[in-house]
Amino acid sequence: MLTMARLARFTKRLPLRQEGLTLAEVILGLAIMISTFVLTIPWMAQNARDMRAKNVAEHAQAFMQAASQYYLANSTGMLAAMADGTGAASYCQIKADTVLGTGGTTTNDATLHTCAVDANWLIYKSYLPSTFRATNPYGQRLVAIFRRIYDSTNTVASMNADMLMVGAQENASTISVPSYDEMLTTAEVLGSNGGVTPDKDRTSCKAVRSSATYQVCGANGTWKVDLSQYISAAQLATFAGKLPN
């Protein structure tokens, strides 16, 4: 808009005999400018997606570090909560008030042996600053799910646990779900810890409702886990209902 205004003022100062030539030059220049802009749009869009993915990855990395520190400081209580629910309300909470620590939901599963926390709880426990966003730019609530490791018969517990961080889409969110490629870029920025749940059968990593196959796979292909080991059947059904297949 600014360029067109300047060109309009410029043409008014020209003699009439030069006006046609000048307008032709303007039209040619405008055509070149528009052509260049159209060709540049895909690169600009990709650059914007890459920058957004980088910001999301940095946000996730800060959350994961805080969640890891929280677990190391509270491992005894959390392992007990994961085993049979003992003391779960003191360790496994999401959506609690960040100042009072009240009003949250206790998030453990004695069958899956899991315990989950979000940024709200980590802020309340002073593992994250009060300014930390509970959701990422996609509107997804960051949740760290800890799972106590058992033997193959699921009867003998170890003193070890896995952690899976997920971005849970808020029900009321109006932000568009990011594309698989963008999420994969985010996972790649996270390095060996980064992974993604696909939107369909991606051959090496699958999310297929018809066969009840839901995987989370490392961006570099070095690891793969079954999502059903970390979230309940009801949560899995909600996730499956959003799949296109």
Helix and strand totals (H; E) in the chain: 6, 10
How sure is the predictor about 178, in pLDDT bands with cuts at 50, 70 and 90?
low
Tally of domains within the chain: 1
In terms of residue numbers, what domain contains 24?
19-190
Mean pLDDT of 35-50: 59
C-alpha angle 79/136/108, rounded to 5°?
20
- Residue 96 forms part of a structural domain: yes
131-176 pLDDT, tens per residue?
Answer: 999 988 888 889 999 999 988 877 778 898 999 998 877 664 444 5
Mean pLDDT of 5-31: 41
- Residue 78 forms part of a structural domain: yes
Backbone dihedral angles phi then psi of residue 191, each to the nearest 5 degrees: 80, -145
Average pLDDT over the chain reads: 79
Neighbour-count burial of 184, counting CB atoms closer than 10 A to its CB (0-12 exposed, 13-18 middle, 19+ buried): buried
Residue 43 has pLDDT above 70, yes or no: no
- Residue 39 forms part of a structural domain: yes
Give the pLDDT of residue 105.
95
pTM (whole model) above 0.95: no
- Residue 176 forms part of a structural domain: yes
- Residue 184 forms part of a structural domain: yes
For helices 2-12 and 16-84, angle between their N-to-C axes, nearest 10 degrees: 170
- Residue 181 forms part of a structural domain: yes
- Residue 1 forms part of a structural domain: no
Give the pLDDT of residue 10.
25
How sure is the predictor about 17, in pLDDT bands with cuts at 50, 70 and 90?
very low
- Residue 231 forms part of a structural domain: no
Segments in 180-244 forming alpha helices (H): 180-189, 233-241
8 A C-beta contact, residue 172 and residue 196: no
- pLDDT above 90 covers a percentage of the chain that reads 33
82-102 pLDDT, tens per residue?
Answer: 999 999 999 999 999 999 999
Residue 213 has pLDDT above 90, yes or no: no
As a whole number of angstroms, the longest Cα–Cα distance in the chain is: 94
How many C-beta atoms surround the C-beta of residue 180 within 10 A? 16
C-alpha 187/C-alpha 181 separation (Å) is 10
